């Protein structure tokens, strides 16, 4: 369980708040919504759920939630409130319209559950209006600065592992090589953690240049020396579509015969793990405590087992980088 900070809640708490989920969905968003709703109702605060993220906010598509609204959702993947990527919210005039809609409904604060793009929108709304805005890190990529863990990351890793354990049966039976693509356009967190946990032969991530010659040499050398092979290379999808297939074609030119398996969006779905349910529930409930203590323009995360807050400006500007030491340790384990 996470260590919860003791906050001064003598600040005048909001009469009503709203919550939305934005960007790519992640397992654990529903427990986070439940945490927000139950904690707010306990404080005597009205809660409005906004449908389809910022897209729903700018047209006023929202409804008042009660305790029953979040019954039996903790085990469900996806998001009860639906989600969307709203390019229109980049327009200051649209954000001004969103703030007006919230004020008209008596809503004084907004909680945003999402990734870096969603939290950028949250920061801009907080800076440009009198609406208090807090963010929660909801993304499977685990690439958000200010938190050791993000809602959905653990489930995504376990989903990929379950799939790879099945793929490995075929890889070993036929002594074949599989390139298994996991999500991660700009981040190698999923690939690195999955690679370590499944005992992959190699890991390819966006943070480091792909060295096809070196990969081919190591594969051939391992076989020549009779070293055991998992038959699995984990590849983060990278920023340009088709990376894994391109890598497969290049390896074929080096006399390798890899098969490609793209896991895709199964990593976003499914019941959240126990870890993600606890993380999301604690972050959701804690966000309400921070609102009642007068906080604004921050993200609620977890560091070293403690619930913490980080200014959204820092979250946006700094970003979170893959630990080079962890990646090097991953490479060592695969030799």
Domain count, the chain: 2
The residue annotated as part of the active site, out of 141, 143, 154, 289, is 141
Report if residue 100 sits inside a domain. Answer: yes
Distances from the Cα of 321 to the Cαs of 143, 204, 299, in angstroms? 7, 15, 18
Q: Say if residue 248 is in the same domain as residue 299.
A: no
Is the CA virtual torsion 107, 54, 183, 333 positive or negative? negative
Q: Is residue 137 part of a domain?
A: yes
Range of the domain at 21: 16-152+272-318
Instruction: State whether 160 and 140 are in the same domain.
Output: no
DSSP, collapsed to helix, strand or coil, labels residue 50 as strand
Q: Strands 298-303 and 306-311: what pairing?
A: antiparallel
Say whether both 122 and 22 belong to one domain: yes
Give the pLDDT score at 226: 61
Same domain, 41 and 188: no
What's the length of the chain?
Answer: 335
> What per-residue confidence (pLDDT) applies to 220?
67
Based on the domain organization, do 240 and 91 belong to the same domain? Answer: no
In a domain, 166, yes or no: yes
pTM: 0.94
| pLDDT tens, residue order, the chain (335 aa) | 789 998 887 788 999 999 999 999 999 999 999 999 999 999 999 999 999 999 999 999 999 999 999 999 999 999 999 999 999 999 999 999 999 999 999 999 999 999 999 999 999 999 999 999 999 999 999 999 999 999 999 999 999 999 999 999 998 888 888 999 999 999 999 999 999 999 998 899 999 887 777 777 777 666 666 666 678 999 999 998 898 998 898 888 877 888 999 999 999 999 999 999 999 999 999 999 999 999 999 999 999 999 999 999 999 999 899 998 888 887 777 66
Residue 7 lies inside a defined structural domain of this protein: no
Residues 264 and 171 in one domain: yes
249 touches 1 (CB < 8 A): no
Does one domain contain both 212 and 297?
Answer: no
Same domain, 291 and 193: no
Assigned domain for 98 exists: yes
**Same domain, yes or no: 93 and 220:** no
Q: Are residues 184 and 250 in the same domain?
A: yes
From residue 295, how far is each of 7, 81, 198, 212 by CA, in Å?
Answer: 10, 24, 41, 49
Contact indicator for 291, 19 with CB cutoff of 8 Å: no
Q: What is the CATH number of the domain that holds 243?
A: 3.40.50.460
Give pLDDT, residue 263: 96
Q: Are 34 and 74 in contact (CB under 8 A)?
A: yes
230/241 same-domain check: yes
Is 10 within the bounds of a domain? no
Residue 3: inside a domain, yes or no? Answer: no
Q: Are residues 125 and 200 in the same domain?
A: no
Q: What is the pLDDT of residue 66?
A: 98
Query: Do the domain assignments include residue 29?
Result: yes
Residue 148: active-site member:
no
Q: What is the CATH number of the domain that holds 20?
A: 3.40.50.450
Question: Any residues with CB less than 8 A from the CB of 263 and at least 6 apart, and which?
Answer: 159, 160, 163, 180, 181, 182, 183
Q: Residue 290: name the closest of 5, 98, 1 by CA.
A: 5
């Amino acid at each position: 369980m996470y260590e919860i900070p003791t906050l001064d809640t003598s600040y005048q708490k909001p009469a009503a708040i709203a919550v939305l989920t934005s960007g790519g969905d992640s397992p654990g968003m529903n427990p986070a919504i439940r945490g927000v709703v139950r904690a707010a109702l306990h404080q005597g605060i009205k809660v409005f759920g906004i449908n389809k993220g910022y897209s729903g906010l700018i047209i006023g598509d929202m409804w008042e939630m009660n305790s029953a609204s979040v019954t039996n959702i903790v085990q469900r993947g996806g998001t009860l409130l639906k989600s969307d990527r709203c390019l229109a919210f980049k327009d200051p005039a649209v954000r001004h319209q969103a703030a007006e809609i919230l004020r008209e409904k008596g809503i004084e604060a907004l909680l945003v559950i999402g990734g870096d793009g969603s939290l950028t929108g949250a920061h801009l709304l907080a800076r440009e209006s009198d609406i208090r805005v807090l963010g929660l890190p909801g993304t499977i990529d685990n690439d958000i600065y200010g938190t050791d863990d993000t809602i959905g990351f653990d489930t995504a890793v376990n989903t990929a592992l379950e799939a790879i354990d099945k793929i490995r049966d075929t890889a070993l039976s036929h002594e074949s090589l599989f390139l298994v693509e996991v999500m991660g356009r700009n981040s190698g967190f999923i690939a690195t953690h999955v690679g370590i946990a499944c005992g992959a032969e190699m890991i390819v991530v966006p943070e480091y240049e792909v060295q096809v010659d070196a990969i081919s040499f190591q594969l051939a050398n391992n076989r020549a020396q009779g070293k055991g092979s998992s038959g699995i290379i984990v590849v983060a999808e990278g920023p340009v579509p088709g990376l894994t297939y391109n890598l497969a074609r290049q390896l074929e030119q080096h006399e390798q015969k890899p098969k490609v398996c793209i896991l895709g969006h199964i990593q976003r779905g499914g019941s959240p793990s126990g870890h993600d349910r606890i993380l999301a529930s604690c972050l959701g409930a804690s966000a309400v405590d921070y609102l009642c203590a007068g906080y604004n323009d921050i993200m609620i995360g977890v560091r070293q087992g403690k619930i913490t807050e980080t200014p959204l400006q820092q979250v946006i500007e700094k970003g979170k980088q893959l630990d080079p030491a962890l990646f090097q340790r991953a490479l060592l384990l695969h030799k």
